[in-house]
């Protein structure tokens, strides 16, 4: 599927072109096509304001998809995204109520809650050997239960702190949205982690074959556990950003992010079986999905048509380049 597996690459193809993953190239190509189609519809589509606004909206999905990307590289999946996102947003909003200290610690507290839920996932998967699809589902249900009790029993504060609003909606240098800068920092950190650290190499190794990685002396269980903790933290961080963007946290705020985050990672050419994929592809997938949603809503397509087109586009793109090798 990816270029790494091409046998005897022809020497006539320039080395730069050979290194480009066809999946990532296709995803970026489709982004350009989407923009062109959009610009036929309205000239606003190519304006810097619109593009920056799209990137700002994309950055929430981008932060969440970063965690999903790492987990999928391991060959696992994190279905606890919806309520970990909600937990992150709601807990940091709730912490805001406790004076200056609460205001200052709101974001770290929300993150810590997400990391804690991620650790629960990670321990279940790495040490108890429960399939990730099941344990993350269970964690999701527990997080939902906790948040329902929290909301109904304690009637907590749900409005975001000023710091949360600042990182989600503010602008700093050159009019760049802060949310986009945050995504760039998170993404840069992820790329560094995956390509320049031992941890990152281990993630790819485990995704290819955990057994082989274990026999090579890798503490695979610890790596898996920390990867899930990281994913939980990033989901919660996405929730904090979303709460800041909407200036309040709500229970169902994470529901719309599970499937798009998986779709973004897979559309970017990352194998759902793990071990193969680049963060650049995930970036392309996130932008693609955000643009698609935006164009469909600008065209005032009813929700029904939006869902249908959304599904057809994902299926069609995957059929284009996401197919597995024929088993023979």
Partner 1 sequence: MTDWRYKLAEHRGTLVALAVFLILFIIYGSNHPAGFTANVVNTAANKGVLLALVAMAQTLVVITAGIDLSVGMIFVLTNCLASAIVVGSPLTTALGVLGVLAAGILCGAINGLIVIFGRLQPIVTTIATGAVYFGIALWLRPQPAGNDAFNSGLADAFTGKLPGGVPASLIALLAVVLIIWVPFRRSAVGRDAYAVGSAEVAAYMSGVSIRRAKFVAYTLAGLLASIGGLFLTFITYSGEASLASGGNYTLFSIASVVLGGVSLFGGVGSAVGAIFGAFIFRTVGDLLFVFNLDPLYQPLFQGVVLFVAVCLGSVRLFQVRNRLDLFG
First-to-last alpha carbon distance for the chain, in angstroms, is 16
306 is a site residue for partner 1 (CB under 8 A): yes
| Residue window 252-271: x/- pattern of binding to partner 1, with contact defined by CB under 8 A | x--x---x--xx--x-----
183: closest CA among 264, 296, 115?
Answer: 264
Looking at beta carbons only, is 59 or 270 nearer to partner 1?
A: 270
32 is a site residue for partner 1 (CB under 8 A): no
118 is a site residue for partner 1 (CB under 8 A): no
Residues 87-116 that bind partner 1 (CB under 8 A): none
150: closest CA among 138, 142, 162?
Answer: 142
d(C-alpha 137, C-alpha 217), whole Å: 31
- Size of the chain, expressed as the number of residues it contains: 328
Residues ≥6 apart with Cβ < 8 Å to 46 = 35, 39
- Residue from 37, 46, 141, 185 in contact with partner 1 (CB under 8 A): 141
Looking at beta carbons only, is 101 or 326 nearer to partner 1?
A: 326
Q: Identify which range of 138-146, 170-178, 185-193, 231-239 contacts partner 1 by CB under 8 A.
A: 138-146
d(C-alpha 128, C-alpha 126), whole Å: 6
String of DSSP letters for 138-170:
HHHHHHHHHHHHHHHHH----BPPHHHHHHHH-
Q: Minimum distance from CB of 176 to partner 1 (Å)?
A: 32
216 is a site residue for partner 1 (CB under 8 A): no
Tokens 């004076």 belong to which residue?
Answer: 99
- Residue from 272, 280, 298, 299 in contact with partner 1 (CB under 8 A): 272
Residues that bind partner 1 (CB under 8 A): 77, 79, 124, 128-131, 133-135, 137-146, 148-149, 152-153, 210-211, 214-215, 220, 252, 255, 259, 262-263, 266, 272-273, 302-312, 314-315, 318-319, 322-327
């Amino acid at each position: 599927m990816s270029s790494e597996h091409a046998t005897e690459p022809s020497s006539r193809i320039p080395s730069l072109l050979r290194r480009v993953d066809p999946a990532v190239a296709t995803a970026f190509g489709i982004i350009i096509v989407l923009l062109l189609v959009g610009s036929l519809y309205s000239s606003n589509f190519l304006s810097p304001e619109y593009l920056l606004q799209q990137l700002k909206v994309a950055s929430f999905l981008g932060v969440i998809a970063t965690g999903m990307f790492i987990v999928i590289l391991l060959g696992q999946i994190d279905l606890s995204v919806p309520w970990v996102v909600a937990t992150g947003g709601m807990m940091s909003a709730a912490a805001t109520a406790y004076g200056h200290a609460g205001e200052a610690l709101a974001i770290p507290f929300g993150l810590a809650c997400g990391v804690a839920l991620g650790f629960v996932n990670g321990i279940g998967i790495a040490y108890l050997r429960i399939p990730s699809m099941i344990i993350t589902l269970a964690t999701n249900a527990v997080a939902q239960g906790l948040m329902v009790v929290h909301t109904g029993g304690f009637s907590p504060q749900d409005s975001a702190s000023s710091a949360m609003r600042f990182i989600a909606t503010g602008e700093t240098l050159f009019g760049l949205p802060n949310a986009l800068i945050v995504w760039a920092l998170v993404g840069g950190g992820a790329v560094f982690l995956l390509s320049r650290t031992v941890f990152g190499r281990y993630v790819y190794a485990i995704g290819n074959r955990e057994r082989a990685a274990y026999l090579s002396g890798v503490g695979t269980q610890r790596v898996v556990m920390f990867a899930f903790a990281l994913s939980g933290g990033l989901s919660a961080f996405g929730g904090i950003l979303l709460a800041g963007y909407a200036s309040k946290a709500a229970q169902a705020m994470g529901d719309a992010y599970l499937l798009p985050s998986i779709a973004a990672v897979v559309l970017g050419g990352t194998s759902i079986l793990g071990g193969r994929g680049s963060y650049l592809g995930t970036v392309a997938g996130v932008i693609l999905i955000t643009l698609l949603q935006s164009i469909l809503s600008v065209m005032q397509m009813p929700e029904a048509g939006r869902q249908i087109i959304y599904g057809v586009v994902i299926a069609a793109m995957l059929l284009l380049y996401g197919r597995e090798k024929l088993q023979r």
